[in-house]
Structure 1
């Protein structure tokens, strides 16, 4: 079973394997290659990818790396460092994706699985969905950008509490914090996340990519530079085919057809 599949304009990426949802090196490499290739995609290509859907194939989204492999390694430090580098190779193009990303978070997203979920733009979970840093439980510090993303999403104080106490976050808390976009029945997670990804994929791909870019730079930008970037971006959108179609649809009182 391939880790990467096309479903219309949605790129479906499986990042874990087995009932417990363990990360797998070969899966990560395959997904990394597919996500990296998106950087060179023409957003105006009607046959291009319009959204990414990240999912597992078992009862859980992803519970992180194989702890038994960590324990069995002759040089544990070197082994874990190599695994982290492979994982970070996946996280970089996921965070910097030119198209929206959606996570189908069924069951547990723990350790590296929580980092993957945080890296996605939107996440759909079920009533039994749980997230937990999990790293302190085995005497590790986080990887996958968790210490960078979590404080930006929930605030520094809450991030300290979650990470230092290894807090288990249930579906209601995750929704309250904005870490889950939508909570549905457990059996409906895959369909709901797929529908959300498909809806995004039918939207204005170039404009959504520019929105992601603007949001990504906001923490490092001053207001003046952000305003300049917004002016450049909206002007580019207005002059492009998506802006032409959007304005025409508005004038004709119909839904726009971007693809």
Structure 2
């Protein structure tokens, strides 16, 4: 199975499961991940999501063996995969109304690195590396990296990583702002799941509204951002969780959130 799915404590963990190919993307895996993201977004029992990879890698990007076989057969599919697979996948991921945490357990290259950048938070193992490998195979950026990476580390550094296609170690990625936390090898998934469980017990509707406002503001002017804040704040203010949080504050007790 190219994907493994596990649920615990309101957290769904999706594991890219092609370790013999460093979890590189085949058509089957791309379509499976897109379906899994939609299902996680629609399932009220899922209140946070973790993405990780099986074995030694997070995701090595596009499976080039499948890619070259299709190219040599003059199949148009490789040239359509960005619009057909990667773009919908990244829209589903960034628009998911729940916190998404990447547990980067090893190499994240090309579309695999882009997948991590599109998550809300990233926890990386100490030996993990990130590589914008597109230029090395004569391609340009895809999977949203031209949009997400500059917003994480700045335009100039993102351009350098794109053009020079040099790997970035996990400690360097932390310094750049590419990842939020670096943990010892073997602990990335556990750390991500613990953080996700904490967020799953939080005001998840508010998290969804916060993500929506941030996403709108990232591509809008100040007026549009202010309007998005006003709308999403009004919507969050009508939730049971907001009333519970205010009541708990006044009563000096810990709130119990239900995500509603």
CA contact (8 A) 1:17 1:24 kept: no
Other-structure match for 2:159: 160
Within the alignment, does 1:235 sit opposite 2:234 as a pair?
yes
* Separation in 2, partners of 1:148, 1:104: 21
Classify the secondary structure of the residue corresponding to 1:144.
Answer: coil
Structure 1 pair 87–236 and aligned structure 2 pair: CA distance change class (3 A): closer
* Separation in 1, partners of 2:18, 2:53: 7
Structure 2, unaligned runs of 5 or more: none
Instruction: Select the residue among 9, 17, 37 that pairs with 2:39.
Output: 37
CA RMSD in angstroms comes to: 1.9
* Separation in 1, partners of 2:223, 2:254: 34
Other-structure match for 2:23: 21
* Superposed displacement of residue 77, structure 1: 7.0
* Separation in 1, partners of 2:225, 2:87: 28
Other-structure match for 2:221: 222
Task: Tell me the TM-score normalized by structure 2.
Answer: 0.90
Within the alignment, does 1:72 sit opposite 2:69 as a pair?
yes
CA contact (8 A) 1:60 1:108 kept: yes
CA contact (8 A) 1:16 1:23 kept: no
CA contact (8 A) 2:217 2:224 kept: no
CA contact (8 A) 1:15 1:28 kept: no
Task: Tell me the TM-score normalized by structure 1.
Answer: 0.91
Deviations 1:173-217 (A, max 9, x none): 111122111101011111111111111111101100000001001
CA contact (8 A) 2:12 2:40 kept: no
Count matched residues.
254
Instruction: Select the residue among 81, 84, 99 that pairs with 1:83.
Output: 81
Classify the secondary structure of the residue corresponding to 2:98.
Answer: coil
Other-structure match for 1:113: 112
* Separation in 2, partners of 1:172, 1:226: 33
Indicate the larger mover: 127-136 or 10-19.
10-19
